[in-house]
Amino acid sequence: MSQTNAPYETLVNSNTYYDIYVKIQIFVDFCYVKLHNIREVIIMKTKTLALSRLNRQIAIQSDIPQVEDGWIKEVRRALGMTLDKLGEICGLAPSTVSQAEKRELEGKVTVETLRKAAEAMNCEFVYTFIPKSDLNTFIEKAAYEKAKRILMRADLHMSLEDQQVKSEIEPRIQRLKHKLISEGKVW
């Protein structure tokens, strides 16, 4: 072995490169975990923001009045527009407009028909769901019910095996509820 290769041979044969590799691998794993945690936080914040925005919109939209004869007929009458004229503007027969008004009351009108009618009457068509309660409350209630079912079933099985759980159920339900919400496993 020549003198010029001696330092190289020493480095190759030592664990130095392996140690560096292990340290890099540990660092990469650490970064992956951190990025995964950051991703989870971003997802939760995004969901929270979306819920907040929806709840604000719900508060605004819950003041929208209901109409007895359906929106097509109500707006058409308010404009003083006949079935013939609305049909002409929409490119539909008056009988088709009349059927659309009836189907709207039955809940069978298509979104496309509503959009055409709204456009013909210079209205913006808004299709929306208005929750009956705050969405956060709805999620919490659903998570609570799921957690309760899971724990009640588990406790039943444990008691059948003579391994009853000694701790109170309510704090356990609350912990599982929060876990279900944070992991997005409510449904």
10 inside domain: yes
125 inside domain: no
115 inside domain: yes
Number of domains comprising the chain: 3
Identify whether residues 82 and 56 lie together within a single domain. Answer: no
Identify whether residues 110 and 141 lie together within a single domain. Answer: no
CB 62 within 8 Å of CB 130: yes
CATH code for the domain in which residue 83 is found: 1.10.260
Q: Which of 23, 39, 61 is the last residue of a domain?
A: 61
Range of the domain at 17: 5-61
Identify whether residues 53 and 82 lie together within a single domain. Answer: no
Identify whether residues 77 and 112 lie together within a single domain. Answer: yes
Return the residue matching tokens 């944070």: 182
Identify whether residues 56 and 79 lie together within a single domain. Answer: no
Does the reported pTM lie above 0.85? no
51, two tokens = 């819920």
130 inside domain: no
41 inside domain: yes
Longest dimension (CA), the chain: 104
93, two tokens = 């027969």
Identify whether residues 12 and 55 lie together within a single domain. Answer: yes
Q: Please report how the helices 6-13 and 16-61 are oriented relative to each other, as an axis angle in degrees rounded to 10.
A: 50
Identify whether residues 80 and 109 lie together within a single domain. Answer: yes
Identify whether residues 12 and 57 lie together within a single domain. Answer: yes
Identify whether residues 115 and 149 lie together within a single domain. Answer: no
102 inside domain: yes
19 inside domain: yes
164 inside domain: yes
Q: How much is the pLDDT for 108? A: 95
Q: DSSP string covering 110-172, please?
A: -HHHHHHHHHHTT---------SS-HHHHHHHHHHHHHHHHHHHHHHHHHHTT----S-HHHH
For the chain, which ranges sit under pLDDT 50?
1, 8
